[in-house]
Amino acid sequence: MQIEYHRFSPADVDDLVAFLTGEEWPFHAGVQEAAAIRRRAAEGFYDDADNRTFWVVADGERGGLIRLYDLGDDTPMFDLRVRRAWRGRGLGTAALAWLTAHLFTEFPDVTRVEGTTRADNRAMRAVFRSNGYAKEAHYRESWPAPDGTRHDAVGYAILRHDWASGTITLPDWHDEPR
């Protein structure tokens, strides 16, 4: 599979609206409404000093979308979406590897990269682990679904020095005083 990453441009707003409203995103919070996407795009939500968005182009087709945010911080975060037709084919794994390298290469002050997903999103959890991210948090009943149910969320992160060395520094899960 040939994968390229193209930076979002304001001229892409119609394509962005079609991408976000044309699929169901079962593990993403909130409803995608065209007017809200257009408003956020106009406000710089997808591309400004603190945010950058990239199309994940697989074999010439826009198969995914990466939004990097909190870029002025030493711990940026991201939103990664893979279209249904491309799920299970390695695109998410490749995209996370690319965005991690991009952040550590292009932003020298970044010390760690964080991401959060629903606990039942087993595919994304596997993508985190395969890219050297360590589970750092488990938030009980913190992710509201459109139907009103609440799901657990899990947080993962990778440290710059772990990324550079290919190691994983796990948190101390047994640090509670006795």
Q: Give residue 30's pLDDT.
A: 63
Q: Give residue 36's pLDDT.
A: 92
Q: Give residue 177's pLDDT.
A: 87
Q: Give residue 26's pLDDT.
A: 81
Q: What is the pTM of this model?
A: 0.93
Categorise residue 146: left if φ over 0, alpha if ψ from -120 to 50, beta otherwise: alpha
**Amino acid at the residue 90:** G
How many helices (H) does the chain have, and how many strands (E)? 5, 7
In CATH, which of 3.40.630.30, 3.40.920.10, 3.30.110.30, 3.30.2090.10 is domain 3-165? 3.40.630.30
Nearest to 123 by CA among 96, 100, 161, 162: 96
Q: Show the CA angle centred on residue 78, arms to residues 77 and 82, nearest 5°.
A: 160
Q: Give residue 45's pLDDT.
A: 93
**Structure tokens, 121:** 């999103």
Q: Give residue 24's pLDDT.
A: 85
Give the DSSP H/E element, type plus range, for residue 117.
strand 112-118
Q: Give residue 31's pLDDT.
A: 59
Alpha-carbon span 57 to 64, nearest angstrom: 7
Residue 119 DSSP SS3 = coil
Q: Give residue 63's pLDDT.
A: 96
Categorise residue 30: left if φ over 0, alpha if ψ from -120 to 50, beta otherwise: left
Alpha-carbon span 5 to 148, nearest angstrom: 35
Q: Which residues of the chain have pLDDT under 50?
A: none
